[in-house]
C-alpha cells in the first residue's frame, strides 16, 4: 500500500523525513524513522521513551520533530491499549495513561506512538478542536476512536457532522493475522465480521482490517472522512517501525495540531 501523495505531502527538515497534510487550520503529520539520533534497533527517529532507547536520544528526536512542525510543544501519553481519553492541557498533574487526546488550544501537538497500530485523527471542520486516538485491535474493539469523537462533540458543543476524521499508517490486513480470541473480543463491535477474513493458510487465524473497522465506526457516527496516509508499517521497513516485524524497535509518531486561529 502506498501513501496518497496527492493529499499528504512528503517533507524534509534536515535529515528528517515526514508526511504532512494541512486541512484549513489543522495540521496533520506522521513521522518516518528517517533522521534522528537513535541507534541499534531504534535506528532513526524513535519517538518513544518506553521501548528501551536512550532517554537523551528520544528527547533530541522529539525536539527535532517539534521544530520541523513548528509546534510550541508536543504532548503524548503512556499508551496502554485502552479507551482512556484525556483533554490537553491536562485537568490534573498526575501521570497520564491512555490512548486518546483532544484539545481546543492552538500549536499544541497531540501525538500517539505507532508501530503497527492505527492512528486516527479527529478534528472540527472549523478547527476549533482536534483529537487523536491510538487504535490497535484492543482499542478498535473498545471503540476508542468513536468514544473520542463523542467526547469532543459533547465537550465542544459540536454535532458529529461538524467533525472530520482521517487515518495514518498501520499494519495492513494482508500482514495482520490474529487468533480466534481476538475475533471473539469484537463481539459487540458493529458488523465486526466484515473486518475479518479467515486465513487461507492457517486454520484459526484471521486477517484483521483495522482501518476499515475504524472507518465504519466513525462514519456510522456521522463523521466525514478525508483521504488517509495508507502506508503499511510492516511492509515499509525504511519508513516505519513495526513491532510485529522486529519485536524490539522504535515508534513513529502521528501528530495533530491546530495551526492557527
pLDDT in the model for residue 6: 56
**12-51 residue pLDDT tens:** 999 999 999 999 999 999 999 999 999 999 999 999 999 9
Domains of the chain by residue range: 9-170+224-258
Q: Which pTM value belongs to this model?
A: 0.96
Compute CA distances 210 → 61, 90, 243, whole Å.
Answer: 28, 28, 16
The angle formed by the CA atoms of residues 208, 214 and 215, to the nearest 5 degrees, is 110
Average pLDDT taken over every residue of the chain: 95
State pLDDT tens for residues 79-130: 999 999 999 998 777 779 999 999 999 999 999 999 999 999 999 999 999 9
Q: Are 45 and 35 in contact (CB under 8 A)?
A: yes
Ramachandran class of 192: left when φ > 0, alpha when ψ lies in -120 to 50, beta otherwise:
alpha
**What are the grid coordinates assigned to 153, written together?**
462533540
Category of 253 on φ-ψ map: left (φ > 0), alpha (ψ -120 to 50) or beta: beta
Question: Cα–Cα distance between 112 and 98 in angstroms, integer?
Answer: 10
pLDDT above 50: residue 2: no
Cβ contact 129:158 at 8 Å: yes
Question: Is 9-170+224-258 in CATH node 3.60.140.10?
Answer: yes
Backbone angles phi, psi at 86, to 5 degrees: -125, 145
Please give the grid coordinates belonging to residue 81.
491499549
Question: Are the C-beta atoms of 30 and 240 separated by less than 8 Å?
Answer: no
Q: Give the total residue count for the chain.
A: 261
Cα 71 to Cα 69: distance, rounded to the nearest angstrom: 6
Amino acid at each position: 500500500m502506498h501513501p496518497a501523495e496527492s493529499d499528504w505531502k512528503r517533507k524534509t527538515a534536515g535529515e528528517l523525513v515526514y508526511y504532512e497534510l494541512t486541512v484549513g487550520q489543522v495540521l496533520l503529520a506522521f513521522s518516518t524513522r528517517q533522521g534522528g539520533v537513535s541507534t541499534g534497533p531504534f535506528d532513526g527517529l524513535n519517538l518513544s521513551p518506553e521501548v528501551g532507547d536512550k532517554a537523551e536520544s528520544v528527547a533530541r528526536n522529539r525536539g527535532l520533530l517539534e521544530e520541523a512542525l513548528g509546534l510550541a510543544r508536543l504532548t503524548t501519553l503512556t499508551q496502554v491499549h485502552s479507551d482512556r481519553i484525556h483533554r490537553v492541557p491536562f485537568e490534573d498533574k498526575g501521570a497520564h495513561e491512555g490512548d486518546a487526546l483532544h484539545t481546543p488550544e492552538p500549536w499544541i501537538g497531540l501525538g500517539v506512538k505507532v508501530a503497527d497500530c492505527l492512528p486516527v485523527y479527529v478534528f472540527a471542520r472549523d478547527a476549533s478542536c482536534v483529537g487523536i486516538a491510538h487504535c490497535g485491535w484492543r482499542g478498535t474493539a473498545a471503540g476508542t476512536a468513536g468514544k473520542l469523537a463523542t467526547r469532543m462533540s459533547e465537550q465542544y458543543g459540536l454535532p458529529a457532522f461538524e467533525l472530520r476524521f482521517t487515518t495514518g499508517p498501520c499494519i495492513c490486513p494482508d500482514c495482520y493475522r490474529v487468533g480466534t480470541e481476538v475475533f471473539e473480543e469484537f463481539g459487540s463491535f458493529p458488523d465486526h465480521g466484515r473486518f475479518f477474513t479467515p486465513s487461507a493458510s492457517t486454520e484459526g487465524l484471521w486477517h484483521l482490517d483495522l482501518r476499515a473497522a475504524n472507518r465504519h465506526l466513525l462514519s456510522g457516527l456521522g463523521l466525514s472522512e478525508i483521504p488517509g496516509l495508507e502506508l503499511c508499517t510492516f511492509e515499509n521497513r525504511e519508513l516505519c517501525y513495526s513491532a510485529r516485524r522486529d519485536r524490539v524497535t522504535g515508534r513513529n509518531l502521528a501528530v495533530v495540531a491546530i495551526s492557527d486561529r
